[in-house]
Chains A and B, each alone.
Chain A
Amino acid sequence: MSEVTIATAEPGALSLRALTKVYAPGTPAAVDGIDLEIHPGEFVTLLGPSGCGKTTTLRMIAGFEEPTSGELRLDGDLINKVAPNHRPMAMVFQSYALFPHLSVFDNVAYGLKLRKLPAPQIREQVEAALASMNLTPYAARAPHQLSGGQQQRVALARALVMRPKVLLFDEPLSNLDAKLRVQMRGEIRRLQRQLGITTVFVTHDQDEAMTMSDRIVVMNVGAIEQVDTPELVYRRPASVFVADFIGRANFLDVEVGQVGADDARITVLGREWSVPRHPDADGHGPATLLVRPESVRLASVDEQEDGGGVGRVVASMFYGESIEYEIETESGPLVVMVADPHDAQTFAPGDRVSVGFEASRAWLLPAATPVAG
């Protein structure tokens, strides 16, 4: 994508306080009293499984749903009751929602025409937007004549040309094929960085969330589980749900011994370890240890017996750049990922291996409480 030459407005700051949406009285809330501060210029992703409330939250921000209670503020102003067509936000829809009876040019010009700008100015801005999206040759085409990726860019151009304070994305990449998705991810992120527009992005795809966001908001059944940078969400998940949802996870039952300020001594795989811990994993309740597959360390052993730190290889899958193993240990099954494996790290099903892990990479969590509903 070429250098973007779209003028922008001051990026807005969004504030959600105790924002709640209940559809029918007596039913569980779709969004249950969430608090969130989104800073100007930030790229925030709402991530979660379907039904978690992320889309409803986005629609409340856009104005298509009215909050049942709570406050929604843009740059400090309360906008709960402001009609969607009066909010300085632009949205890119999952289905792109291009007007089928208008050409690409007219689609992009639609919002500007409503602002009653003079025609030459409209043309200038639209052409600039189309140029930045490499869409200039398609200006006269009808939407159905374009490919999915091109339609996606038209939708983007149409949103950007409005100079919104906040840019909203409703799962825009889910209708694209894998390769295009990856490409568009990068383009959208680059664009956002260049323009510095506050962006709220909704997706259920964790790869998108991880690669694009400044911060990720992980949601589950209407509530926020964690708001953090991708690194922290990955390394220091706030709950078993988040740990399980992002990346792949092994959960081991452990005995918790001495507990420090931010670490704890645990016993697993036949020995003691010192691992970082979640503030709530203080030894008073049941705890579980998160070990990511790539943090597990395997070595061949001579010992003839299982137990302790010895495990048995149940299955192995060769990916080329890595090998994935399923290991059975006395502490439970483990999925292991060995990148760029040497011969010494190549095992066959049935082999016995010594199992360990990078202690600094592990994370002690309170065990999952059964989720209601």
Chain B
Amino acid sequence: MSGQPPAPRTGATPGKRASRKFDRRRLMALVRKESLQAMRDPSTILVAFVLPAVLLFLFAYAVSLDVREVRIGVVLESDGASAQSLAAAFSGTRYLKVTPARDRREVAAQVVSGELRGFVVIPQDFERRLASRVPQPLLQVITDGSQPNTATFVANYAQGVVQNWAISRSGGAPISAIELEPRYWFNPELESRRALVPGAIAIVMTIIGTMMTALVVAREWERGTMEAVMSTPASVVEILIGKLLPYFVLGMIATLGSAALAILVFHVPLRGSVLALMTLSAVFLIPALGQGLLISSVTRNQFLASQIALFSGFLPAFLLSGFFFEIDAMPLSIRAITYLVPARYFVSSLQTVFLAGDVWAVFIPDLAAMAAIGLLFFAIARSRTHKNLEP
């Protein structure tokens, strides 16, 4: 590259020598230097372009909350016709994959090893129980409780199968007094990918914004080059902006790329405007970058910075943002912590801008919260950086 050495030359501009204020040419030179440095490193490309694609793909296809075929056993202990027809009803369902058995001991071991997620026992005296007027269990459902969600599904679905079987036996008369008709707004086909893919963008941006910034700035401190840059006429603000601007741009490009992937490849609708999406992303980058900067200025060491960025940036964005786990269901003290996680606000707005549209009543409080947290991070980081400049 034919880049001229920036700081010393601009510093030599006559008349402006002693100025420690803002200088546009000096800033541009710093930004250029940092951008070149970032783009030269193959890991930048990996994180900004390859990782988002991989993550979005995984959230679209691998992380599916939609249950497919759950493997269960059906233990048929009775030879009666009704028992046979009920067993056939289990085999004929869309969501269960049935392993037939004659003895419950055959399937019990498979539940322990995890090959089956539960089993249904149609007992020997099934016909007698069916004919009896005394209310008593007709059959037993055993689930693998070590996977609570699958266990709930198996239990409910098995009950549904039995209900339907009973209806069809009684001649198809409606038996339920109340029927719920769920309407899922914004996501009528109930594909979990539609909710997960927009949220995944928040995770990608956290990795780019917080993790990369923390590393890049910590490296300068670790190598001692930060002091070298500090000794030039460039001011602290200029240096920090010079460092952060390239990552801001990178984050915005990654958002655009991720959004394009989400819409074109994973068929997630964008019902809101691109402008709203970009505004939200830009504002989210303030706390994300601020957090990275703060981490690096506190640790000044890449190993420590990466550990803290991982545990205070990435994992909370995944676990405490409401992207995957409902915030409402958390205990009060944890809910209090989530208010400090910028990704919480970003996820809520991202899901809205993609699936619902431009609901500014959601965006404005989220934007305000993100900006406030961001400014707080920057203020602390700035004060720490400044203090250490003066001997």
B and A form one assembly: no
